Amino acid sequence: MHEHDAPDSHLPLEETSELTYYEQRVEAIQALLIEKGLLSADDVRRAVEAMDARSPAVGARVIARAWVDPHFKQHLLVDAKAAIATLGIDVDTWSTLVAVENTPTIHNVVVCTLCSCYPRSLLGVPPDWYKSLNYRARVVKEPRTVLKEFGLELASDMEVRVYDSTADMRYLVIPQRPAGTEGLSEEALAELVTRDSMIGVTQARGPQR
Amino acid sequence: MQYQPGDRVRIRVASPPGHYRTPTYIQGKIGVIEAVHGAFRNPETLAYGGDGRPKQPLYLVRFDQTHIWAHAESAEPAPFGQNDRLLIDIYEHWLEPAPEE
């Protein structure tokens, strides 16, 4: 044991990363807006808090309803925002939403190769991997390899449909309702609908787990 | 709307200066109009403080994976299946009628 060669575990923790150009620009604009009284620091904090508070629970509620109500599901597939508004959810500020349905022969998965477009209103803040270059570059080119890394292996004769959301549309995957869930309530079904199953990198959870 | 669902289209090959939302990997490829989304403001001028008008028709275009990534077909294990598809949103000014088969 060479004590003197060991890294000093008592070095002070320091902020090392420097702000990027765009971070500096945002900070400058924000400081100016606050200085001019156009908004307050609390307005900014509140907006961030509201964004972070959105969660996949909203999407799960929509999917569970689609599983139990065929008319709602049909409406969701034709005009997703209008269908969701019937649940009392405020969709006024949402981007155009398109719901795509997984079936025994079709599996859908969503990506944004250009940036990180994501149905935040329904799913909250996207996971880091969704924004990674690795996922974005590879899922369009080798979808089955990527899905396998997520633990999902699909029959070779199934049709995997990758949606690259490059524009104004946001895509929501309706996972297949798991077998053995016939007796479950809508609330219990919503518990089986995970974020990843609505992106399409996995299926909804089974009722046992 | 110049195109209807079922029409065969080719994605233009271009690299105009500034912001555009047609990825290189799909340029020059031939697909089929899957759906017409409607008209949306053009991101190529919106990105620079413009109003994005006139609005551009936006389409969902469907491609066979075997067409886009022809060279990858023989890889093991298969990166995609023979029936797999890619669907992507493309503005009308990036589309042109596909040449006859």
What ipTM, to 2 d.p.? 0.96
A168 touches chain B (CB under 8 A): yes
DSSP letter for each residue of A87-122: TT---TTPPEEEEEE--SSEEEEEE-SSS----HHH
Residue B88: list chain A partners with CB under 8 A.
163-164, 166
The residues, ordered by sequence, that sit 6+ positions from B59 with a Cβ below 8 Å of its Cβ are B3, B9, B33, B34, B35, B36, B37, B89, B90, B91, B92, B95
CA A157 to chain B, closest CA, distance in angstroms equals 7
Q: pLDDT digits over B69-98, tens only? A: 987 666 777 899 999 999 999 999 999 999
Identify the DSSP state of A132. Answer: S
- Cβ distance of A157 and B21 shorter than 8 Å: no
What local confidence, expressed as pLDDT, does residue B63 receive? Answer: 98
Asked whether the predicted pLDDT for residue B12 surpasses 80, the reply is yes
- Cβ distance of B84 and A141 shorter than 8 Å: no
For residue A142 the two structure tokens come to 């080798």
Among chain B residues, CA nearest to A96:
B37
Beta bridge partners of A12: none
Q: List active site positions of A.
A: 112, 115-117
Choose the closest CB to A141 out of B79, B83, B89.
Answer: B79
- Cβ distance of B84 and A144 shorter than 8 Å: yes
What local confidence, expressed as pLDDT, does residue A58 receive? Answer: 95
What local confidence, expressed as pLDDT, does residue B100 receive? Answer: 79
Residue B91: list chain A partners with CB under 8 A.
167
End-to-end CA distance of chain A: 47
For residue A64 the two structure tokens come to 């569970």
Tell me if A164 sits within 8 A of B88, measured CB to CB.
Answer: yes
CATH code at A55-199: 3.90.330.10
What local confidence, expressed as pLDDT, does residue B76 receive? Answer: 74
The residues, ordered by sequence, that sit 6+ positions from A191 with a Cβ below 8 Å of its Cβ are A60, A205
Choose the closest CB to B85 out of A145, A159, A165.
Answer: A159
- Residue/partner pairs of A130-138 with CB below 8 Å, 24 or more apart: A130/A199, A135/A111, A136/A111, A136/A112, A137/A113
What local confidence, expressed as pLDDT, does residue A187 receive? Answer: 97
Q: pLDDT digits over B23-79, tens only? A: 999 999 999 999 999 999 999 999 999 999 999 999 999 999 999 998 766 677 789
What local confidence, expressed as pLDDT, does residue B72 receive? Answer: 67
Query: What does the domain layout of chain A look like in residue ranges?
Result: 21-52, 55-199
Alpha-carbon torsion angle A60, A63, A65, A66, nearest 10:
180
Per residue of chain A (209 residues), give pLDDT as tens. 455 555 667 778 877 778 899 999 999 999 999 999 999 999 999 999 988 889 999 999 999 999 999 999 999 999 999 999 999 999 998 999 999 999 999 999 999 999 989 999 999 999 999 999 999 999 999 999 999 999 999 999 999 999 999 999 999 999 999 999 999 999 999 999 999 999 999 999 999 75
What local confidence, expressed as pLDDT, does residue B16 receive? Answer: 92
A166 touches chain B (CB under 8 A): yes
What domains, with CATH codes, occur in chain B? 8-97 (2.30.30.50)
Among chain A residues, CA nearest to B37:
A169
What local confidence, expressed as pLDDT, does residue A8 receive? Answer: 66
Closest CA to A63 of A171, A201, A186: A186
Cβ neighbours around A1 below 10 Å, total = 4
